[in-house]
Structure 1
Amino acid sequence: MATLLYIFPHPDDESFGPAPAIARQRREGHAVHLLTLTRGEATRQRHHHGYSKPEMGRVRFEEMQCVAEVLGLSSLEVLDFPDGELAELDPRVLEDVVARAIERHRPDVVVTYPVHGISGHPDHLVTHAVVKRVGCALRERLGVPRRLAFFTLPEGLEKKPAHLHTSPRERIDACVSFTVEDLERAEAALACYRTYRRVIEKHRPLESVTGGVCFELFQETFDPPLDDLTDRLPVVENPAHNASIT
């Protein structure tokens, strides 16, 4: 069995697309950990509910506990960096927490957003850059992660909100299929976000992954795409397994 670590900036990022793949991975016995960098308190949805930013952050944290239970996550860590302001932080602070999570879990696969961030949100772009830099450095030093995967949407989708970015088909290196039961579990996880019910009903995010949950794989190419993120993992040459992060 493999270990996967998903790293996203906001609550719901794991459920607006990747959740069916996560449900499959847990069903198959893989360890799946989730690190979320903010509590998503700055979302405009708070105005519909009359919440202040601190109140919204608390509610979204509670919603994530529901998601962790529904998906059966191996662990969930939700940090409280300022939502919408990751670009204003010293990137070394973010790099440190990401590095420590990777050192702690020693994942075979780390998953985050692609370079375009799908929605283009600045927090998504910062997270991509931080995770990719730290992942490359630690693979060289510690031998993990063996794979960097970027959750994305393939071009040509019929059911996709117009504002979202996609990746060319030739950049898709893995497209994870899932069962009806996996999809039902993903839908239940998405339903945990009661504060986002209007957004979910409007955009129906899981309809964008009906053909599989797709990923770009950093510095790997597979044609046809892999069906499993843990399949054909690259061998890391002479990793310093006993090294520590300084």
Structure 2
Amino acid sequence: MIILGYIFVSILIFWAVLVIYLNDFSVPSKLTGEFTSVLIVFPHPDDEAKSMAGTIKKFTDQGIKVTLLLFSKGERGTPDASEDLTLKKIRSKEAKVSAKILGVRLIHEDFGDGVLPKKRTKLTSYLQKIIAKQKPDLVITYDKSGLYGHPDHIVVSEIITDLHKKLKKSFKLWYISFPEKILAGKKLPTHMADNPDFAKHRKHPNMKIWIGHRFITKSKVIGAYKSQFPSYERGLVVPVPNVILWSLFPWEYFHEVKESL
């Protein structure tokens, strides 16, 4: 029993060291209780999973109304980004499971995967109507780098950022963000970028949200997107079981847009 105790303590210490090493303690923490209505906008099913599922669950646990708006069915969610129309139905079902786990209202549109830059005008008009109807006090999406230069991510960010300015900042705008040390541990699919200089538009986190035990919910949401497991596995530098991996990240990071745009 003593040996088992030493092993347990050693594992716990090793886990704590990894948490300290992998997270950025220079980024200030942020409370979330000030909001009443949150609109989260992403191009694809599963964009919400690894980036901010814990924060979404924290919002809904606090009684905040959360709407998740997805613009495509994710038919290009293959490891090489080739089109597979059978994924539309599969990923739609996965998104519904994710929404149920997180307790959010899901709006799932089909503007096409990989073609959103060609539909900027339609998307802008659609988003204006959604914002007018939902009246969110917070909107969350990608920054203008699209994380790894994905054109769909970038156009959605640009549209929302422009609306934020046009509507005179009637809502707060957050971009999902990651500290450099976390990005260094990811194999991002940068081959999907049209602009090789996308990283110049990346915003560094200026706040973090404590999700604590909600990493368990986050791992369940990620697990709901079984069709994306091949892509997930390619994105890991070292293969680690899902729930263990996300236990190392009890915070999620964001950039709150404050500067003049």
Verify same fold: TM over 0.5.
yes
Amino acid at match of 1:151: I
State TM-score, norm by structure 1.
Answer: 0.76
Could you tell me which residue of structure 1 aligns to residue 219 of structure 2?
A: 187
2:129 to 83, 90, 100: 100
For the residues of structure 2 that align with 1:209 and 1:80, how far apart are their CA atoms? 35
Please say if 1:215 is aligned against 2:227. no
Please say if 1:64 is aligned against 2:95. yes
Amino acid at match of 1:87: P
Is the CA contact 1:11–1:40 (under 8 Å) kept in the aligned structure 2? Answer: yes
2:152 to 88, 102, 123: 123
For the residues of structure 2 that align with 1:9 and 1:131, how far apart are their CA atoms? 12
Please say if 1:148 is aligned against 2:173. yes
Question: In the superposition, relative to structure 1, how do residues 172 and 62 fare at CA in structure 2: closer, same or farther (>3 Å)?
Answer: same
1:36 to 67, 70, 73: 70
For the residues of structure 2 that align with 1:65 and 1:57, how far apart are their CA atoms? 12
Could you tell me which residue of structure 2 aligns to residue 137 of structure 1?
A: 166
For the residues of structure 1 that align with 2:45 and 2:234, how far apart are their CA atoms? 18
Please say if 1:79 is aligned against 2:87. no
Is the CA contact 2:177–2:255 (under 8 Å) kept in the aligned structure 1? Answer: yes
Shift of 1:65: 0.5
Amino acid at match of 1:18: M
Q: How many residues align?
A: 211
Shift of 1:28: 1.5
For the residues of structure 1 that align with 2:200 and 2:37, how far apart are their CA atoms? 26
Please say if 1:23 is aligned against 2:54. no
Is the CA contact 1:15–1:190 (under 8 Å) kept in the aligned structure 2? Answer: yes
Question: In the superposition, relative to structure 1, how do residues 137 and 208 fare at CA in structure 2: closer, same or farther (>3 Å)?
Answer: farther
For the residues of structure 1 that align with 2:134 and 2:94, how far apart are their CA atoms? 23
**Sequence identity, in percent?**
25
Amino acid at match of 1:22: I
Structure 2: where are the runs of 5+ without partners? 1-34, 191-197, 237-241
Is the CA contact 1:18–1:213 (under 8 Å) kept in the aligned structure 2? Answer: yes
For the residues of structure 2 that align with 1:122 and 1:153, how far apart are their CA atoms? 19
Amino acid at match of 1:183: F
Shift of 1:98: 1.0
Question: In the superposition, relative to structure 1, how do residues 93 and 47 fare at CA in structure 2: closer, same or farther (>3 Å)?
Answer: closer
For the residues of structure 2 that align with 1:46 and 1:106, how far apart are their CA atoms? 38
Is the CA contact 2:76–2:113 (under 8 Å) kept in the aligned structure 1? Answer: yes
Larger of the two Rg values belongs to structure? 2
Amino acid at match of 2:112: P
**SS of the residue aligned with 2:48?**
coil
**SS of the residue aligned with 2:180?**
coil
For the residues of structure 2 that align with 1:131 and 1:4, how far apart are their CA atoms? 14
RMSD of aligned residue pairs (Cα, Å): 3.0
Could you tell me which residue of structure 1 aligns to residue 86 of structure 2?
A: 55
Q: Which stretch has the larger CA shift, 156-165 or 18-27?
A: 156-165
Is the CA contact 1:153–1:208 (under 8 Å) kept in the aligned structure 2? Answer: no
Shift of 1:218: 1.2
More helix by share: 2
Deviations 1:199-231 (A, max 9, x none): 33443696498152111111259xxxxxxxxxx
Amino acid at match of 1:144: S
Question: In the superposition, relative to structure 1, how do residues 82 and 156 fare at CA in structure 2: closer, same or farther (>3 Å)?
Answer: same
